[in-house]
Structure 1
Amino acid sequence: MEYTEFITHVQSLAQSNSREEAEIATRATLETLKELIPGDEAQEIAGEIPSELSECLHKIDTDTSESFHLQEFIERTSQKENIEPTTTAMHVRAVFAVLQNAVTPEKFKKFRAYFSHDYEELFTTSSTSEMPAV
């Protein structure tokens, strides 16, 4: 998936007012993901998304990751976006949906295993065929 397509899908699914808002939301979400998942897993995901976004997942120390619940994830991402958490939650859900379609099913399944059950609402079963055409 190309960068423009990725951001366009995020913008559409998040019902963002602008492309810039979708770009900020995507980067903030990926940067928060980097804090949560192990570095090797972050690198695998980074290898499957557009290079313009993969930099958000690069870790200096690949052995560190934190464990935090959904509310903390939303709060951290909200701070990065500098917007209200309720809007951030919609953005994060959109980024996760596009990410699910940007990486292979096997890698996404492995990636999803790092999340506790409270994250379930962020994972959709959408496919790119359900996304609006670019």
Structure 2
Amino acid sequence: MDYDTFIDQVAQRTRAPEERAAALTAATLETLSERLTGGEVLDLAAQLPKPLQVVLKPSPRTEAAERFGAAEFAARVALRAGVDENTARGGVRAVLTTLREAITRGEFDDVMSQLPRDYREMVEPAMAPGAGLRRAG
């Protein structure tokens, strides 16, 4: 999946302009990169288009992942994207669903396995069968 398609799908899922979708995508991926081990960040980045690879910062300073819960994840995304936390949570769901379509199933499962149970509200919509973008018509 190329960058423009990724952002377009996030925009459709959030019903937001592309600029906001791009900000939510960048904020979500940057925050996700803090929550994943360094090796997992590198694996994820390898499957994404260049503009999204850069956001992930695939040259981690450390292998260790930061430990923070879903509420802190949403708060960081909200701060980075300049939106409220409800908008951030919706954006995270949209980005994760799009991410699921953009990378291999095995890589998506590897990423999700590093997130604790309290992320379920943000993650489950992306993991549900048929969670892909439903096109009208």
Measured at CA, do residues 131 and 62 of structure 1 come closer, stay the same or move farther in structure 2, by a change above 3 Å? farther
Unaligned runs of at least 5 residues, structure 1: none
Q: CA deviation at 1:127?
A: 4.7
Could you tell which deviates more after superposition, 119-128 or 71-80?
A: 119-128
State the alpha-carbon separation in 1 of the partners of residues 86 and 60 from structure 2: 31
Matches within 5 A, 1:1-134: 1-16=1-16, 18-58=17-57, 59-123=59-123, 124=126, 125=128, 126-128=130-132, 130-132=133-135
Report the aligned-residue RMSD: 1.5
Residue correspondences, number:
131
* Cα distance in 1 for residues equivalent to 2:90 and 2:29: 14
Taking structure 1 as reference, are residues 51 and 132 closer, same or farther at Cα in structure 2, changes over 3 Å only?
farther
Say if 1:4 and 1:90 are closer, same or farther in 2 by CA, change over 3 A.
Answer: same
Deviation at 1:110, TM superposition (A): 1.0
Structure 1 counterpart of 2:32, which letter? Answer: L
Q: Deviations over 1:39-63 (max 9, x none)?
A: 1101111111111111111244142
Equivalent-residue separation in structure 1 for 2:134 and 2:13 (angstroms) = 8
TM normalised by structure 2 equals 0.89
User: Percent of aligned pairs with the same residue?
Assistant: 31
Query: TM-score, normalising length from structure 1?
Result: 0.91
Gaps of 5+ in 2: none
